[in-house]
Amino acid sequence: MARFTQAFCSFAFALVAIAAQPAAAGYLSKVELRAGQRIGIYIGTFDPPHLTHMSRAAEALKAGHLDYLIIIPNDTTVHKPGATPFPKRLEMIEALFGDDPRVLVPDGSYGKPIGPGVVKWLKRRVPELRLVGVYGSDVAVRWTKRLIERVFLRQLDEWLVFDRKGFDAGKIPKKVGSREVTVVPSEVEEFSSTGTREWFEKNPDFYQEGSTKTPPGLDPKIAAYERKNRIYGGNAPDPARFNPESVAWATGQLIGLSSRAGGTPFIAQAGSASPIDHVGIVSVEGGSVFVYEYLNRVGIRKVPLAETLAGAVGKDGGLMAVVAQPNPPLTPAEGQRLRATLDALGTGLETAPKSCTQLVRLAFEGIGRKVGKIRGAAEYRTEAFGGLIGRLAGDVLKDMSAIISPKELLTGSDFKVIGGNAPADLSWTDRELLEAWRRGGDLNRLARLVAVKQKTDKSFDPGFNPGPEGLFEGLERSLELQHCVELLTSRATP
Predicted local distance difference test score (pLDDT) of residue 429? 38
DSSP states along 338-404 = HHHHHHHHHHHGGGS-HHHHHHHHHHHHHHHHHHHT-SS-EEE--STTS-HHIIIIIHHHH-TT---
- The per-residue pLDDT for 328 is 63
Q: What is the pLDDT of residue 160?
A: 87
Query: Which residue segments constitute the domains of the chain, with CATH numbers given?
Result: 31-190 (3.40.50.620), 196-229 (no CATH), 244-488 (no CATH)
CB atoms within 10 A of CB 124: 11
- The per-residue pLDDT string of the chain (494 residues; one tens digit each, 9 = 90 and over) reads 222 222 222 222 222 222 223 344 578 888 999 999 999 999 888 999 999 999 999 999 999 999 999 999 887 554 555 678 788 888 899 999 988 899 999 876 676 678 888 888 898 889 999 999 898 776 665 655 554 455 566 678 888 888 776 666 666 666 666 677 888 887 778 888 989 988 988 888 898 888 888 889 999 999 999 988 888 876 554 444 556 777 788 887 777 666 543 333 333 333 333 445 566 788 899 889 998 876 655 567 788 988 877 766 555 555 666 666 665 677 788 788 778 777 766 665 555 444 555 555 555 544 444 443 333 333 333 332 333 333 333 332 222 222 233 333 333 333 333 333 333 333 333 343 334 334 433 334 434 443 332 233 343 333 333 343 443 343 334 334 444 444 444 433 33
Strand order in the sheet with 415-417: 299-304, 288-295, 278-285, 254-257, 321-326, 378-380, 415-417
How far, in Å, CA of 168 to CA of 160, rounded? 16
User: Which pTM was predicted?
Assistant: 0.49
Per-residue model confidence (pLDDT) at position 389: 36
pLDDT at 36: 95
Query: Which H, E and C letters describe 246-313, residue by residue?
Result: HCCCCCCCEEEECHHHCCCCCCCECCCCCCCCEEEEEEEECCEEEEEEEECCCEEEEEEHHHHHHCCE
| Cα first-last separation, the chain | 50
Residue 425 CA to residue 14 CA, distance in Å, equals 10
Q: Is 427 helix (H, G, I), strand (E, B) or coil?
A: coil
User: In this predicted structure, what is the pLDDT of residue 288?
Assistant: 92
Helix (H, G, I), strand (E, B) or coil at 10: coil
Can you tell me the distance from the alpha carbon of 32 to that of 368, in angstroms, rounded to the nearest whole number? 36
| Distance separating alpha carbons of residues 156 and 129, to the nearest angstrom | 10
Rounded Cα distance between 96 and 91, Å, is 9
Nearest to 391 by CA among 417, 415, 373, 411: 411
Report residue 444: phi and psi, to 5°: -65, -35
Backbone phi and psi for residue 125, each to the nearest 5 degrees, phi listed first: -75, -50
Whether residue 67 contacts residue 101, with contact meaning beta carbons closer than 8 Å, is answered with: no
Return the SS3 of 218: coil
- pLDDT the model gives residue 187: 76
Q: Which of 29, 136, 125, 117 is nearest to 74 (CA)?
A: 117
